[in-house]
Amino acid sequence: MRGKARTAGDRRPRGSGLWGDLDLRWMRVAAAILAGSGALGSAVGLTATSAWLIARAAEMPSPADLAIAAVLVRTLGIGRGALRYAERLRSHDTSLRGVASLRTRAYERLEAGRTAQVMTLPKGEIMARIGADLDAIGDVVVRALVPLGVAVVVSATAVGIVGSQHPGAAACLAACLVVAAILPAVLTARATRISQEEGAQTDAAVSVAALSALEGATEHRVWGTTAEAASLLDDANARQEQARESAARPAALAAAIHVLAAGVALVTAVLIGIAAVTSGDLTGPAAAVVALTPLAAFEAVGALPAASAQASRSRAAAARVRGLFESAGLNRSEPSLRPSPAPADDPDPRAAFPLELDRVRAAWPGGTPTSPVDARLAPGQVIGIIGPSGIGKTTLLLTMCGALPPVSGEARISGRRVTPADTGIRIAMTAEDAHVFGTSIIENLRVARGDVTHEEADRVLALVGLGPWLARQPEGLDTILGSGGLSVSGGERRRLLLARVLLHPAPIHLIDEPGEHLDEAGTDIVQAIVEESRAAGRSLVIVTHDHALLKVVDTVVDLGKVG
Question: CA quadruple 42, 47, 52, 57: dihedral positive or negative?
Answer: positive
Reference 301, options 258, 361, 344; nearest CA is 258
Which span (69-77, 357-365, 370-378, 462-470) binds another protein, by CB under 8 A? 69-77
Reference 445, options 502, 522, 375; nearest CA is 502
Of the candidates 68, 200, 230, 521, which one interacts with another protein according to CB under 8 A? 230
Residue type, 216: G
Positions 105 through 134 that interact with another protein (CB under 8 A): 106-108, 110-111, 115, 118-121, 123, 126-127, 130-131
**Distance set, CA 368 to CA 314, 373, 386, 391, 396 (Å):** 38, 14, 18, 9, 12
Which is closer to another protein, CB of 10 or CB of 374?
10
Q: How far apart, in whole angstroms, are the C-alpha atoms of residue 294 and residue 432? A: 65
Positions 481 through 540 that interact with another protein (CB under 8 A): 482-484, 500, 504, 506
The residue count for binding another protein (CB under 8 A) is 142
φ/ψ bin of 187: left (φ > 0), alpha (ψ from -120 to 50), beta (otherwise):
alpha
Q: CB within 8 A of 226, min separation 6: which ones?
A: 217, 220
Asked if 103 is part of the footprint of another protein (rule: CB under 8 A), the reply reads yes
483 phi and psi angles, rounded to 5 deg: -60, 135
Least Å distance, CB 442 to another protein, is: 15
CB of 325 closer than 8 Å to CB of 376: no
Positions 410 through 469 that interact with another protein (CB under 8 A): 423-425, 428-431, 434-435, 437-439, 447-448, 450
Asked if 3 is part of the footprint of another protein (rule: CB under 8 A), the reply reads no
Q: How far apart, in whole angstroms, are the C-alpha atoms of residue 364 and residue 62? A: 88
Which is closer to another protein, CB of 371 or CB of 441?
441
Least Å distance, CB 317 to another protein, is: 15
3-state secondary structure 59-97: CCCCHHHHHHHHHHHHHHHHHHHHHHHHHHHHHHHHHHH
Reference 488, options 423, 558, 435, 426; nearest CA is 435
Asked if 8 is part of the footprint of another protein (rule: CB under 8 A), the reply reads no
Q: How far apart, in whole angstroms, are the C-alpha atoms of residue 53 and residue 313? A: 45
Asked if 549 is part of the footprint of another protein (rule: CB under 8 A), the reply reads no
Asked if 146 is part of the footprint of another protein (rule: CB under 8 A), the reply reads no
Site string for another protein, 292-311 (x = CB under 8 A): x--x----------------
Q: How far apart, in whole angstroms, are the C-alpha atoms of residue 338 and residue 349? A: 15
Which is closer to another protein, CB of 284 or CB of 372?
284
Which is closer to another protein, CB of 380 or CB of 482?
482
Asked if 189 is part of the footprint of another protein (rule: CB under 8 A), the reply reads no
Residue 374, SS3? strand
Instruction: Give the bridge partners for 430, in sequence order.
Output: 511
Which is closer to another protein, CB of 42 or CB of 523?
42
Which is closer to another protein, CB of 245 or CB of 374?
245
Which span (151-159, 285-293, 456-464, 537-545) binds another protein, by CB under 8 A? 285-293
CB of 158 closer than 8 Å to CB of 150: no
N-to-C CA span, the chain: 42
Of the candidates 60, 344, 519, 535, which one interacts with another protein according to CB under 8 A? 60
Least Å distance, CB 49 to another protein, is: 8
CB of 386 closer than 8 Å to CB of 560: yes
Of the candidates 140, 141, 287, 441, which one interacts with another protein according to CB under 8 A? 287
CB of 274 closer than 8 Å to CB of 153: no
Least Å distance, CB 552 to another protein, is: 22
Of the candidates 93, 326, 546, 558, which one interacts with another protein according to CB under 8 A? 93
Positions 309 through 368 that interact with another protein (CB under 8 A): 341
Asked if 200 is part of the footprint of another protein (rule: CB under 8 A), the reply reads no
Neighbouring C-alpha atoms within 13 Å toward the C-beta of 160: 9
Of the candidates 214, 319, 521, 548, which one interacts with another protein according to CB under 8 A? 214
Asked if 66 is part of the footprint of another protein (rule: CB under 8 A), the reply reads yes
Asked if 205 is part of the footprint of another protein (rule: CB under 8 A), the reply reads yes
Residue type, 80: R
Least Å distance, CB 124 to another protein, is: 9
Of the candidates 171, 189, 274, 309, which one interacts with another protein according to CB under 8 A? 274
Q: How far apart, in whole angstroms, are the C-alpha atoms of residue 537 and residue 133? A: 46
Of the candidates 136, 151, 173, 206, which one interacts with another protein according to CB under 8 A? 206
Q: How far apart, in whole angstroms, are the C-alpha atoms of residue 141 and residue 165? A: 35
Which span (65-73, 313-321, 488-496, 539-547) binds another protein, by CB under 8 A? 65-73
Ordered DSSP codes for 268-304: HHHHHHHHHHHTTSS-HHHHHHHHHTHHHHTTTGGGH
CB of 503 closer than 8 Å to CB of 422: no
Which span (156-164, 263-271, 365-373, 538-546) binds another protein, by CB under 8 A? 263-271
CB of 507 closer than 8 Å to CB of 539: yes
Least Å distance, CB 384 to another protein, is: 20
Asked if 401 is part of the footprint of another protein (rule: CB under 8 A), the reply reads yes
Which is closer to another protein, CB of 173 or CB of 371?
173
Which span (207-215, 307-315, 368-376, 550-558) binds another protein, by CB under 8 A? 207-215
Q: What share of the chain is helix, strand, coil (3-state, %, to 5)?
A: 65, 10, 30
Of the candidates 30, 175, 189, 210, which one interacts with another protein according to CB under 8 A? 210
The residue count for the chain: 563
Asked if 68 is part of the footprint of another protein (rule: CB under 8 A), the reply reads no
Which is closer to another protein, CB of 151 or CB of 266?
266
Least Å distance, CB 169 to another protein, is: 14
Of the candidates 32, 146, 162, 251, which one interacts with another protein according to CB under 8 A? 251
